[in-house]
Amino acid sequence: MGPDWAAPGPAPRHLASPGRDVAPSGVRVNCIAPSAIENDKMRSWASAEQREALAASFPLGRLGQPDDAANAALFLASQASSWITGVTLDVAGGKIML
């Protein structure tokens, strides 16, 4: 997997082993699992009422925004996460993604 690898479906939950395998080389392996991110595609198929109902289902009471996922990526790419490897970071407004 390259640094630009992305899963088209559910987030991989098998990152612990690669994270452990390459950690001695200073490489960290992590995944971002965004939930409902409001974007043009979502707005094209979900009405404002549907998006409001979906937003209400999240503990934070809103849909995710593209910046939410981008900020998670920035965090994992930064030195602020230098002690983190082999994890999937759910960017999900408080919902636990299964």
Cα distances (Å, whole numbers) of residue 76 to 34, 39, 54: 14, 22, 27
Neighbouring-strand partners of residue 90 = 33
Predicted structure pTM score: 0.79
Q: Given a cut of 60, is residue 5 above it in pLDDT?
A: no
| Residue 37 lies inside a defined structural domain of this protein | yes
DSSP states along 36-69: -B--HHHHHHS-HHHHHHHHHTSTTSS-B-HHHH
CATH of the domain at 74: 3.40.50.720
Domain of 87, in residue numbers = 16-91
What pLDDT score was predicted for residue 15?
61
What's the structural domain count of the chain? 1
Q: At 85, is the pLDDT very low, low, confident or very high (cuts 50, 70, 90)?
A: very high
| Residue 81 lies inside a defined structural domain of this protein | yes
Mean pLDDT of 61-85: 97
| Residue 11 lies inside a defined structural domain of this protein | no
| Residue 2 lies inside a defined structural domain of this protein | no
